[in-house]
Amino acid sequence: MIFLFTDFGLEGPYIGQMKAALLRTAPQVPVFDLFADAPDRRPMEAAYLLAAYVESCPVGSHFLCVVDPGVGGDRPPAALWTGGSWFVGPGNGLFELVQRRAVHAESYRIEWRPETLSASFHGRDLFAPVMGWLASGASAGEAGLVPEGMPRFPDWPDDLAAVIYQDRYGNLMTGLRYTTIARSTRLRLGGVEMEWAETFSAVPAGKPFWYGNSSGLVEIAVNGGSAANSLKAGIGSRMEII
Amino acid sequence: MIFLFTDFGLEGPYIGQMKAALLRTAPQVPVFDLFADAPDRRPMEAAYLLAAYVESCPVGSHFLCVVDPGVGGDRPPAALWTGGSWFVGPGNGLFELVQRRAVHAESYRIEWRPETLSASFHGRDLFAPVMGWLASGASAGEAGLVPEGMPRFPDWPDDLAAVIYQDRYGNLMTGLRYTTIARSTRLRLGGVEMEWAETFSAVPAGKPFWYGNSSGLVEIAVNGGSAANSLKAGIGSRMEII
Amino acid sequence: MIFLFTDFGLEGPYIGQMKAALLRTAPQVPVFDLFADAPDRRPMEAAYLLAAYVESCPVGSHFLCVVDPGVGGDRPPAALWTGGSWFVGPGNGLFELVQRRAVHAESYRIEWRPETLSASFHGRDLFAPVMGWLASGASAGEAGLVPEGMPRFPDWPDDLAAVIYQDRYGNLMTGLRYTTIARSTRLRLGGVEMEWAETFSAVPAGKPFWYGNSSGLVEIAVNGGSAANSLKAGIGSRMEII
């Protein structure tokens, strides 16, 4: 199956047109929305989000990923094979954490070009057809890939002590993996210190806390309220680990 | 077919991950979004909305329902069989009106547990696999269900004279079934009295009125405007029936 | 394949119920969201948007279209055949530009009525079943159509120098086809004059410009910002061509 991971939003024609493009080269492969609201034009925060959610998707899933503020510029169109999953999208750091955490990783540059390539919608015109071929079993060469390392970002930390996603309830996902910090750890965000709790119902209403979310990330929440509003925090806000 | 009825929002990974989980136990069953914006953490209002929309879905549809503010607490994971349709979700009142209006109803508690159960996303980890098995023809026992009455809410009225849903136009659905009140009835909401009209085009622009919506509920609207704004009303606002 | 083009919004039960209705008469035909946020209750602006996006969808696609402020009034339920694609929806101008630009066009009125027709949701009850039959290969007569010209709007221009869509980034699509104006053309919107650029990365951050979007329309954008906010413009805002 193919998961879509983009910052396009569900509104507008973008997701629908990309799915229609996938249907043409991968008619037998189910397609699911993972995120259509990945961090807007922020490949770094998106990279930590993607790497975490890959872990909670079925083994062998493929990922068509577009957070691409430099579309039309000089970042390479790229693909990554991790020995079971294909990742296709811009080589702008979006796959940095997936690659770093993978046991096996092969990088490619997409050499194939469609007859007509729009300047602003490579997701539909370039990345979707290539992903469709790969998910249907084509080899790297058949899908127009050439082996080539993609740009790397060695300065990015292994875990990011910052907010990387805000959901509709105002819960704040961070770039910290739950398994990397002890439950006795305190986090400070927006001037407020928070302790760990198992889940919402273990905390008094209105109190901020942190917990391990359903995809293995440290997440900050307020029982019955919005952590984003209470802590005046959003995507990119930095935390202290105490 | 399976309909999804949740308060997750379409944003974020939640609906996509739940659909991917359904695919694994029910690969042949089409899945549709019914509501992803059911009343947020309000099982009571959601119960009236669900019961109404079940009536306008094809006979034999199944319903995976998650409005679950007590996730991780002690409400039982539950299933309901109405002699053609399965309902799976939290036993927190969400199925109260479906059960009350059903000619035939069998209640179950979900005893099965996955190897890994997240504290906050039972929709993906627990309810989706069970729904997938049931929609694919498994028996209650095969799907890990045991017969057990679910918590009931006898104080809730048969029809709720309150707003239970607001759409993007500002139209306000109520918990009153259209067939239960006469067309001569007047409704008062936000200090304004409203009369019945057949449809929008039968009313002057800007005037609030009530009508029977496409799923059999009394709905309040303003032709060419927003009833929510005009009447300063939203989910939970109570009405008077005059 | 069938594309959905509506102003329903993705929230609420409307898109899901329409897809479920399509499944019943066209179980083999894939369905994609094109726009669920077409210009709200504005058939004119929507007509230019639809005509442009038809060009970027695969040949032979069908279009179920509902932007229908007069639902329940006297606009005819209509269908249009362009020698490869069916269009089904209200005869209120929504198909005016598709029809005008088509080499071949046959207009129909939908005579068929379901047993139960809601006053407000013809998309689900009337248009979806008819589209399903047509997309599955039924003849016009078998789908309940009778040949009849639909209302025409000769005063509408061939290209509309106005904003017809605003995306989540604040980019503003216009009703001008990119091929109809020279790259030396300047556009004025919200008191600001703009020049053409190839794409975002060719323009300094913060500067408004116009370009040809991925579906062949002139679109106005601000690199790294929101054109809607910068220019205080939205759907319906008129431009000057200089």
Q: Give the CA-trace dihedral at A172, A178, A182, A188, to 10 degrees.
A: -20
* Cβ contacts of A215 on chain B, cutoff 8 Å: 13
Who has greater pLDDT, B98 or A223?
A: B98
Q: What share of chain C in percent tops pLDDT 90?
A: 87
pLDDT band at C33 (very low <50, low <70, confident <90, very high): very high
- Residues with Cβ within 8 Å of residue C183, at least 6 apart in sequence: C196
| Pairs of residues, one from chain A and one from chain B, whose beta carbons lie less than 8 Å apart | 71
Is the pLDDT at A56 greater than 90? The verdict is: no
pLDDT at A154 (0 to 100): 97
Over residues B92-136, the pLDDT tens digits come to: 999 999 999 999 999 999 999 999 888 889 999 999 999 999 999
Residues of chain C neighbouring B199 (CB-CB closer than 8 A): 71-73, 119-120
* Angstrom distance (rounded) from CA C67 to CA C7: 6
**Three-state DSSP class for C154?**
coil
Helical (H) or strand (E) element with C34: strand C31-35
- Residue A173 in contact with residue A213, Cβ under 8 Å? yes
The single-letter code of the amino acid at C35 is F
pLDDT tens digit sequence for A164-200: 999 988 999 999 999 999 999 999 999 999 999 988 7
Task: Give the tens place of pLDDT for each residue, C62-110.
Answer: 999 999 988 877 899 999 999 999 999 999 999 999 999 999 999 999 9
Name the 3-class secondary structure at A185: coil
| CA–CA separation, C20 and C215 (whole Å) | 29
CB contact under 8 A, B125 and A202: no
**Section B16-24 average pLDDT:** 94
Among B residues 8-27, those touching chain A with beta carbons less than 8 Å apart: 8-13, 15-17, 19-20, 23-24
Distance (Å) from the alpha carbon of B73 to chain A's nearest alpha carbon: 6
Instruction: Among A19-28, A134-143, B80-89, name the one with the lowest average pLDDT.
Output: A19-28
| CB contact at 8 A, C164 and A13 | no
pLDDT tens digits, one per residue of B145-204: 999 999 999 999 999 999 999 998 899 999 999 999 999 999 999 999 999 998 877 899
Chain A residues inside the 8 Å CB shell of B121: 213-214
Tell me the Ramachandran region of residue C112: left when phi exceeds 0, alpha when psi lies from -120 to 50, beta otherwise: beta
Put simply, the answer to whether C118 touches B214 (Cβ < 8 Å) is: yes
Kindly report the average pLDDT of chain A as a whole number.
Answer: 95
8 Å CB contact of C121 and B214: yes
| Paired sense of beta strands C187-189 and B106-110, if any | unpaired
Inter-chain CB proximity C11 and B201 less than 8 Å? no
Range 28-47 of A in CB contact (< 8 A) with B: 30, 32-37
Measured between CB atoms, does B213 come within 8 Å of chain C? yes
Please give the span between the terminal C-alpha atoms of chain B, in angstroms, as a whole number. Answer: 40
pLDDT of residue A51: 98
Question: What interface predicted TM-score (ipTM) does this complex get?
Answer: 0.89
Residues 164-203 of B with CB under 8 A from A: none
> Is A214 an interface residue toward B (CB < 8 Å)?
yes
pLDDT of A137 strictly over 90? yes
Q: CB–CB of A11 and C198 under 8 A?
A: no
* pLDDT-based confidence at residue A223 (cuts at 50, 70, 90): confident
φ, ψ of residue A61 to 5 degrees: the values are -70, 155
Q: Work out the number of other CB atoms within 10 angstroms of the CB of residue B126.
A: 24
List, for residues B66-91, the tens digit of each pLDDT value: 999 888 778 999 999 999 999 999 99
Mean pLDDT of A26-35: 94
* pLDDT, tens digit, 9 for 90 and up, residues C100-121: 999 999 999 999 999 988 888 9
More confident residue, B117 or C141: C141
